[in-house]
Amino acid sequence: MASAKRIFLGYMLSIIIGIFVGLAIVRFKYLDENVSPLILGLQTLPSICWLPFSILWYGLNESAIIFVITIGSTFAVSIAIESGMKNINPLFVRAARTMGAKGFSLYWNVIIPASLPSIISGLKQGWSFAWRALMAGEMISATKGLGQVLMVGRDLADISQVMAIMIVIVILGVAVDKLIFGKMEINIRQKWGLDKV
């Protein structure tokens, strides 16, 4: 399905960019002081507001929609990574340093695994942002895909089609959440012992 391909591409791109931006902010204090407020500001901008920009930039095609998806979820991912890494227990880092961890190995062996719970919740949030951006993009500028079918339903005044598509969107969202993120979360919660309330 066209929508699935778009969201997959856009979401993967946003994860990659988001991780790099998040890591860079954590690593370099200069970036943290100067870029973080900007990212927070951009995060408040609804992804549909990027649509006119991306249509002007890319034209009415696939790239425009993928751009909107990417930009819609990148900031959520990078903010989650940044706050996740800043809020890990400093004792983990101290202990690792006395055992000889520094630079890359410190990040790979300690900081990233320690912040995984919050990284996953960031990815989850990014997913829902990406999904919204996809719908917005498709409703306005696509020739196929779920959003476009939704708009066709509106044009034909066919309320049953409109409702059916809305339900499909919700079901897809829940399915991905349960099957992918849900499993990761349960796995981590068991390992860390967070499920014993």
Site for another protein, rule CB under 8 A? 91-92, 94-101, 105, 109-110, 113-114, 116, 188, 190-193, 196
* Comparison of 99 and 157: residue with beta carbon closer to another protein: 99
Instruction: Output 30 or 104, the one with its CB closest to another protein.
Output: 104
**Residue 45 CB, nearest distance to another protein (Å)?**
35
Which among 139, 8, 149 is positioned nearest to 69, based on CA atoms? 8
Shortest Å, Cβ 82 to another protein? 20
Report yes or no: 51 and 141 within 8 Å, Cβ to Cβ: yes
Provide the minimum distance between the beta carbon of 102 and another protein in the complex, in angstroms, as a whole number.
Answer: 8
> Measured from the CB of residue 168, what is the shortest distance to another protein in angstroms?
37
First to last CA, the chain: 41
Q: DSSP alpha helices (H): ranges in the chain?
A: 2-27, 29-44, 50-58, 62-86, 90-98, 103-106, 112-141, 146-155, 159-176, 183-192
Closer residue to another protein, CB minimum distance, 33 or 195: 195
d(CA 66, CA 197) in angstroms, rounded, equals 41
Nearest distance from C-beta of residue 100 to another protein, angstroms = 4
Residues 12 and 18: their CA atoms lie apart, in Å, by 10
Nearer Cβ to another protein, position 93 or 166? 93
Please say which residue, 110 or 136, places its beta carbon nearer to another protein: 110
